[in-house]
């Protein structure tokens, strides 16, 4: 069977919008176009009702209350609001104190750069290291908590590797020590079950476009009871979203987000099993058909669709170039603007060479077995070809230890 | 990264991939770069009567690193050694229309050909020294 190309295997970057989501959104552009804040006519009431329905879908998926959902423009804004919101609220109540935040070195830049900003604005931040498997422990978090700690922010699952952290255990430690717990669940939300009470989560960031919804809409879960979380708003204005986030609501996108969440929740068990089956098949073929390949991250702690593999002695960007009809991403420096290889993989102890040689393959709702087989075939062919072209591979075949060579850095 | 057609052509149909016998006195070998930096080039030349008659490369690196080394092997074949020493990275970058972030790939290719020539020159100097030593020894013994 021939496969249609290009093949999309980058679902962790973004997803196509599910056609059912598009259908749900369309009437809200041209027919039900009211402002959800308009209280004086049916256009406004209809829009508000649609927004409330979507809010209820998100809340139900998290076992939360709809009043605890704040709409945002995406997970980056949610992360900014959660972290700056908590820290600045504390600072506003007690001038001169330096609140302390705990996070991890493998977090997304939306967390790390927000934390760096806070370090320049009167806060202290601890960046916890991870193990070679990409995992943190609750004990590490507990040991880092000080009397000044106000917030712990640990991602639910990593975007590059798919490694899922022990969220419930970390949450429990935070609750016991009366420290707020935020998790960036951009990759995990809608893919694995999440219960904010059972996992002791106080704030949780979400994004629509990672689960077949539209881009440009996200949400932040903000706990209202036991404990009540208070935030300093980051966008000021008309007092929408209980004052947490002003701005006219993006009704069509919110409706789409709600529908995407409903579909994800209702098909989660079945879809996870199918996607994981494809991922395992791809993994098994790559490991069986190629030598010197390594999975990055603890395989039994991964999200169902994630697979990050280093192909030793091949530079990642050249492999991407070979796989030009397949959409993938790489931890190679050559694919990043900074020319630095993946900081996530380096934090897991990978040497630069293996970080340069990594590929991230992420499988999703519309991936087929034929596509996965096509990718495995192409990988085998090009890995062989590029290794025949690789001086490092030649040295290794000749029995030379690459670490014994004095490389000239450039 | 959007590459020029020339980079894609060299990447997909690399010229002169392979190895020459590094112990051959006519062969010069240059290895430059580092795995940690994401690119390593091995470039080899065979020199007969001062002219480069063959060139081979192997490269670990991105598409433009592979293309730069492929292009250089194509250029140096048939050149005299002194001509090959004049190749500079600007010519390589221009020929391949490399974007600014990839200029270092052309620098590496220039370094590789210079390193290969230096290796060949060192071998020749050693041969000459040996020949003189042998001649002196023969003169002494006679």
DSSP letter string, A302-345: B-TTEEEEEETTS-HHHHHHHTTTEE-EE--GGGSTT----HHH
- Residue B142 has a pLDDT of 58
CB proximity A327 to B under 8 Å: no
CATH topology of domain A7-13+268-396: 3.90.1150
* Angle (nearest 5°) at CA A208 between A302 and A174: 55
B25 within some domain: yes
Residues of chain B contacting A394 with CB distance shorter than 8 Å: 19, 42, 58
Does B61 sit within 8 Å of A410, measured CB to CB? no
Cα–Cα distances in Å, from A174 out to A139, A150, A159, A193? 11, 10, 23, 20
Catalogue the active-site residues of B.
Answer: 37, 105
In angstroms, the CA A139 to CA A62 distance is 25
Q: DSSP letters of chain B? A: -PPPHHHHHHHHS-SSBS---TTSTTEEEEEEEEGGGTEEEEEEEEEETTEEEEEEEEEES-HHHHHHHHHHHHHHTT-BHHHHTT--HHHHHHHHT--GGGHHHHHHHHHHHHHHHHHHHHHHHHHHHHHHHHHHHHHHH-
pLDDT for B3 equals 85
Q: Does the distance separating the beta carbons of A314 and B34 come in below 8 Å?
A: no
Interface residue B30 vs chain A (CB under 8 A): no
What CATH number is attached to the domain comprising B81?
A: 3.90.1010.10
pLDDT score recorded for residue B1 = 58
Three-class HEC string of A198-217? CCCCCEEEEECHHHCCCCCC
B62 and A410 in contact by Cβ < 8 A? no
Q: Do A410 and B33 touch (CB under 8 A)?
A: yes
Q: Kind and range of the H or E element at A259?
A: helix A251-289
| Integer Cα distance of B113 and B108 in angstroms | 9
Residue ranges, comma separated, of all CATH 3.40.640.10 domains in chain A are: 19-263
Which among A337, A341, A389 has the least Cβ separation from residue B14?
Answer: A389
Instruction: Count Cβ atoms below 10 Å from residue A199 Cβ, excluding itself.
Output: 22
- Residues in chain A with pLDDT values less than 70: 1, 333-339, 409-410
* ipTM of the complex as predicted: 0.89
Encode pLDDT of A91-130 as tens digits: 998 877 899 999 999 999 999 999 999 999 999 999 999 9
Chain B: nearest CA to A384, how far in angstroms?
13
B 80-99 → A contacts, CB under 8 A: none
Angstroms from A121 CA to nearest CA on chain B: 33
In a domain? residue B140: no
Whether B139 is in a domain gets the answer no
Candidates A105, A119, A102, A72; CA nearest to A182 is A102
Query: CB contact, 8 Å: A3 with chain B?
Result: no
From B36, B62, B101, residue closest to A318, measured CB to CB:
B62
Do the Cβ atoms of A279 and A305 come closer than 8 Å? yes
**Considering the domain boundaries, does residue B142 fall inside one?**
no
Residue of A nearest to B63 (CA): A318
B45 falls within a domain? yes
Residue spans of chain B under pLDDT 70: 1, 141-142
Mind telling me how many Å the CA of A394 is from chain B's nearest CA? 9
Is the CB of residue A340 less than 8 Å away from at least one CB of chain B? Answer: no
Q: What is the strand order of the sheet A124-128 is part of?
A: A69-72, A218-222, A203-207, A180-184, A149-153, A100-104, A124-128
Inter-chain CB proximity B59 and A391 less than 8 Å = yes
Instruction: Tally C-beta pairs within 8 A across A and B.
Output: 87
Chain A residues close to B101, C-beta within 8 Å: 337, 339
Question: According to CATH, where is 3.90.1150.10 located in chain A?
Answer: 7-13+268-396
Contact at CB, B34 and A313, closer than 8 angstroms: no
CATH of domain A19-263: 3.40.640.10
**What's the rounded Cα separation, in Å, for the pair A320 and A384?**
14
pLDDT on residue A405: 84
Rg over CA atoms, chain B: 17
Tokens of A274: 């199918």
| Count of the separate structural domains present in chain B | 1
* Residue B11 counted as domain residue: yes
Contacts of B70 in chain A (CB under 8 A): none
- Domain limits for position B121: 5-131
Residue to mutate among B11, B60, B112, with most A CBs inside 10 A, is: B60
Interface membership of A325 toward B (CB under 8 Å): no
């Amino acid at each position: 069977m021939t496969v249609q190309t290009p093949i999309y295997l980058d679902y962790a970057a973004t997803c196509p919008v599910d056609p059912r989501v598009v259908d749900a959104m369309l009437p809200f552009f041209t027919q039900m176009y009211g402002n959800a804040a308009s209280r004086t006519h049916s256009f406004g009431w209809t829009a508000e009702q649609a927004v409330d329905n979507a809010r209820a879908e998100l809340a139900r998926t998290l076992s939360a209350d709809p009043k605890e959902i704040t709409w945002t423009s995406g997970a980056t804004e949610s992360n900014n609001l959660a972290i700056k919101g908590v820290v600045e609220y504390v600072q506003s109540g007690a001038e001169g104190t330096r609140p302390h935040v705990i996070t991890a070195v493998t977090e997304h830049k939306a967390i790390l750069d927000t934390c760096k900003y806070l370090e320049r604005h009167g806060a202290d931040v601890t960046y916890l290291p991870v193990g070679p498997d990409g995992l943190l422990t609750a004990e590490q978090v507990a040991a880092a908590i000080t009397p000044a700690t106000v917030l712990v922010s640990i991602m639910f699952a990593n975007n590059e590797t798919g490694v899922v952290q022990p969220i419930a255990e970390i949450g429990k430690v935070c609750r016991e020590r009366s420290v707020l717990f935020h998790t960036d669940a951009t990759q995990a939300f809608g893919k694995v079950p999440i219960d904010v009470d059972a996992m002791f989560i106080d704030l949780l960031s979400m994004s629509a476009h990672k689960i077949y919804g539209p881009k440009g809409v996200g949400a932040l879960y903000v706990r209202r009871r036991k404990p009540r979380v208070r935030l300093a708003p980051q966008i000021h204005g008309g007092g929408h979203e209980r004052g947490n986030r002003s701005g006219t609501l993006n009704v069509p996108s919110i409706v789409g987000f709600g529908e995407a969440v409903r579909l994800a929740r209702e098909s989660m068990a079945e879809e996870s099993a199918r996607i994981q089956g494809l991922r395992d098949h791809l993994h098994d073929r790559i490991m069986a058909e190629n030598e010197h390949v390594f999975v990055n991250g603890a395989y039994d702690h991964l999200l169902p669709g994630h697979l990050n593999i280093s192909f030793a002695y091949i530079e990642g960007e050249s492999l991407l170039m070979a796989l030009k009809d397949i959409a993938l991403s790489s931890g190679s420096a050559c694919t990043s603007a900074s020319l630095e290889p993946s900081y996530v993989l380096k934090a897991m102890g990978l040497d630069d060479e293996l970080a340069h040689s990594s590929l991230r393959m992420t499988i999703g709702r519309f991936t087929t077995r034929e596509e996965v087989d096509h990718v495995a075939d192409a990988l085998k062919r090009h890995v062989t070809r590029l290794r025949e072209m690789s001086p490092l591979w030649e040295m290794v075949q000749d029995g030379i230890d690459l670490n014994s060579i004095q490389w000239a850095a450039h | 990264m959007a590459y020029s057609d020339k980079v894609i052509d060299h990447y997909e149909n690399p010229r002169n991939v392979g190895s020459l016998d590094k112990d051959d006195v006519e062969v010069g070998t240059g290895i430059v770069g580092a795995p940690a930096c994401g690119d390593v080039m091995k470039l080899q030349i065979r020199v007969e009567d001062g002219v480069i008659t063959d060139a081979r490369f192997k490269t670990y690196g991105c598409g433009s690193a592979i293309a730069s080394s492929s292009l250089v092997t194509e250029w140096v074949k048939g050149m005299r050694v002194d001509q090959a020493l004049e190749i500079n990275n600007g010519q390589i970058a221009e020929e391949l229309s490399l974007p600014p972030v990839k200029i270092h790939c052309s620098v590496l290719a220039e370094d590789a050909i210079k390193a290969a020539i230096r290796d060949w020159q060192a071998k020749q100097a050693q041969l000459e020294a040996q020949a003189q030593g042998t001649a002196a020894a023969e003169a002494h013994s006679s």
